[in-house]
Structure 1
């Protein structure tokens, strides 16, 4: 039986993995290590037998706890390969200056997180066994806020996964916030394309603000270690908010006009 998660909710109950992840863990526990590693090595989500990353995190942690250093290193390399693949899509060289260095920094920080979990920071990776993509998207956004890109273009509304356009969690939250729209709209690929086209119609200064908001950057912060929009653009908070408000007003007008046609 898979070991339960250790992290607790505010009410004192333990977090639980989704039923489909528990089913994967039980299934993988019935095969030998070599077969398990073979299945883990499949990188494409479209491939038959693709194992969700939540399961990789579980067996990575278990290998460390059981003292299986060789298995740990093999799973670690596979997981980091998946992360690298994801980052190449979200932080591409064509959209961001210094993208490679930023990707490497984020990977280093995630590897450090794994190391801390192994050394006793119990529960540090629990969320990654529940919803890996959402947990890593939040981790990536947090790292980007601190690192800050040299040049930022508008971030795509989705990630270029093998199985098509998949909207990322932080982009959906940001877009829902500044548009004040129904989150279910983002399930419609046509709407996402309309929104992308509308952003492209904005003046450069407004487009830049929206691009940064969609990447998860906050407008301003008292913490000097956090990279904010105001610091990236080297202007005051009021200027950023004014540009954002003008951009939001323009986007709403464009989208309403498109809907009316």
Structure 2
């Protein structure tokens, strides 16, 4: 099977070309069903023969621009977004009984993620903005982060200490209140750095429909938007806002159960 060439050119006027290994994998997986693609996306060991290259995943997503009748974009989009997020460095680390959050790195990641979502939205209309992601995905992400880091600039205090309870090794009640995790809203804990790793692990174990909704919510997607240029969960999943909200409610309840917060209230 012939893989369509890229169209974007570099600064020297040379057209971008994918590595042979990328082109070979694209040719071998182009007709796979979404369930099989999702299964292979879960393989994180790059030496595994079934590991799906990020460049290939980007190509499969972009391929849906001309044929989205089977909803492949809806299935592939969360997989691409998750792969991008895993390529970003973590902004928090544990030092003894304290969780240190690198505020500047967190801002850089947020800006890079926002820009990537914008690029994907624009790319849906056509063009070559994501061509380099089919050539060297990791390098493209690194360049995006470099641009974001330049924009964020310097901060006086890069890390904010978070006190943990000595017995439970969880954020103290005072810290949780300050972070909003003890607010009445059922999803306030999602923005708490102390829960981040467990929340992400819980989301990965949710049923597909709930996982997709939560992945997009964690990346500040609106449930519904009247602006056709603004990507919304409802539009991407092909569901009405009520269905999306119901999936969110069930997902939040399950995440709370898995990380030990219990029912709301």
TM-score, with length taken from structure 1: 0.51
Residue 152 of structure 1 and its aligned partner are, at CA, apart by: 4.2
Q: Residue 143 of structure 2 aligns with which residue? A: 138
Q: Residue 115 of structure 1 aligns with which residue? A: 121
Point out the more displaced range, 108-117 or 11-20: 11-20
Q: Which runs of 5+ in 2 are unaligned?
A: 94-99, 160-265
Residue 68 of structure 1 and its aligned partner are, at CA, apart by: 4.3
Q: Which runs of 5+ in 1 are unaligned?
A: 154-261
The correspondence of residues 144-155 of structure 1 with structure 2, limited to 5 A, is: 144-148=149-153, 150=155, 151-152=157-158
Residues 1:86 and 2:87 aligned together: yes
The correspondence of residues 1-261 of structure 1 with structure 2, limited to 5 A, is: 1-9=2-10, 14-45=15-46, 47-68=48-69, 70-89=71-90, 91-92=91-92, 94=100, 96-97=102-103, 99-120=105-126, 122-148=127-153, 150=155, 151-152=157-158
How many angstroms apart in 1 are the aligned matches of 2:6 and 2:12? 15
Residue correspondences, number: 151
1:102–1:149 Cα contact (<8 Å) kept: no
Q: Which secondary structure does the structure 1 equivalent of 2:4 belong to? A: coil
Q: Which secondary structure does the structure 2 equivalent of 1:55 belong to? A: helix
Q: Which secondary structure does the structure 1 equivalent of 2:17 belong to? A: coil
Deviations 1:115-167 (A, max 9, x none): 111123x11011110011111101111011112353448xxxxxxxxxxxxxx
Change (3 A) 1:112 1:10: closer
Higher helix share: 1
Q: Residue 211 of structure 1 aligns with which residue? A: none
TM-score, with length taken from structure 2: 0.50
Structure 1 vs Structure 2 CA RMSD = 2.6
Deviations 1:74-117 (A, max 9, x none): 2221121122222244x445462264454233212110011111
